[in-house]
Amino acid sequence: MSTPQSQIAAQLQSAKSLSVSHSWLDTFVASSSASLQRNIPISALTQTALFRVLSSDFRDTLITTNPSSVLPMDIFDPAVKERRLVGPIPVQVLDIEDIGSSLWSQVEAIERVERGEAIRGREIVRTVSVGEEIEDRASNNNNSGNNNAGGNEGGGNGPHRLILQDAAGTRTVGIELRRISDISIGKLPIGAKLILRSATVARGMVLLTPDCATVLGGKIESMDRAWKEGRKARLMARINEMAQEGQMTRGRGGDAMEE
């Protein structure tokens, strides 16, 4: 007779391609003993388990014994022109950047949110609930990767650059090659989970398309909060670095002209 652990593991594997560790399942089932005594259906317990897995760090909840379910250790090697990740490989988002929008436009978008303003077409609309709405969208994303309606805090449509991490802790860069509707700043929180299937890796970067990347949703609350709180400072630091580099370049050009 199959155990609740094996049934939940099988459902998560078949429906979401998530290979959950036995130790985590044992802990989860032990904490759900009251539900089991009330004859709560395994399907309902599986949904609860899925929610908790998507809210967790994959390094703590998934197994890494299957080589095809984790990223290659040398995935970031730029000397490899192209390779294919068969997968499915579960990964979580550690960072997201809108590389289609200028740094200043992103700072200005954050400041509009801080002032309680939103943009409707070309008109700036005053609203005290903008920040709350963005938080609500991120929370909704924690429940379902397909229930992501709403705007983009950064004001841009990408493409986006993501830092992704698998269950073994290996990190890689993902570039949005074709628009993926569930990926945008303000819509995809830090700690959100994706499944990669038949993804192409070119010069150490995973090329993300709707065909190879499926957003499951989820969020790691502490990581997402820290990322949001530090985002403006990170953008300003990069702007200052670029300004300093520009001054150095102009200075070298002036020296060359004098010579």
The single-letter DSSP state of residue 188 is: S
In the chain, the number of structural domains is 2
Spatial CA neighbour of 180 closest among 165, 168, 191, 196: 196
First-last CA distance in the chain? 86
Which pLDDT value is given to residue 37? 65
Which pLDDT value is given to residue 251? 63
pLDDT at residue 110 above 70?
A: yes
Which strands form 205-208's sheet, in the order they lie side by side?
82-85, 199-202, 205-208, 171-176, 160-166, 89-98, 193-196, 213-217
Q: 158 with 226, same domain?
A: yes
Spatial CA neighbour of 67 closest among 136, 166, 165, 206: 166
Confidence of residue 156 (pLDDT cuts 50, 70, 90): low
Q: 32 with 153, same domain?
A: no
Residue 245 belongs to some domain of the structure: no
Q: 20 with 96, same domain?
A: no
Pick from 28-32, 82-86, 137-141, 229-233: least confident: 137-141
- Burial (CB < 10 A; 0-12, 13-18, 19+), residue 3, is exposed
Pick from 8-22, 53-67, 143-157, 203-217: least confident: 143-157
Residue 32 belongs to some domain of the structure: yes
Domain extent for 27: 4-54
Spatial CA neighbour of 24 closest among 53, 54, 65, 67: 53
Confidence of residue 124 (pLDDT cuts 50, 70, 90): low
Tens digit of pLDDT for each residue in 7-31?
A: 999 999 999 999 999 999 999 999 8
pLDDT at residue 226 above 60?
A: yes
Q: 81 with 206, same domain?
A: yes
Q: 40 with 75, same domain?
A: no
Q: At which residue do the structure tokens 């997968």 appear?
A: 87
The single-letter DSSP state of residue 45 is: H
Pick from 34-38, 56-60, 194-198, 255-259: least confident: 255-259
Spatial CA neighbour of 87 closest among 20, 6, 19, 25: 19
Which pLDDT value is given to residue 90? 98
Q: 34 with 144, same domain?
A: no
Q: 46 with 74, same domain?
A: no
pLDDT at residue 52 above 90?
A: yes
**Are 209 and 194 within 8 A, CB to CB?**
no
Tens digit of pLDDT for each residue in 127-152?
A: 544 444 444 444 444 444 343 333 44
For residues 40 and 166, the model is more confident at 166
Q: Average pLDDT, stretch 231-247? A: 85
Which pLDDT value is given to residue 38? 75
Q: How far is CA 122 from CA 112, 119, 125, 158, 184, in A?
A: 14, 7, 10, 19, 21
Residue 243 belongs to some domain of the structure: no
Residue 63 belongs to some domain of the structure: no
Q: 39 with 132, same domain?
A: no
Q: 102 with 19, same domain?
A: no
CATH code of the domain covering residue 137: 2.40.50.770
Give ∠ CA 40-52-86 in degrees, rounded to 5. Answer: 110
For residues 60 and 256, the model is more confident at 60
Q: 203 with 85, same domain?
A: yes
Q: 35 with 115, same domain?
A: no
Q: 8 with 123, same domain?
A: no
Residue 259 belongs to some domain of the structure: no
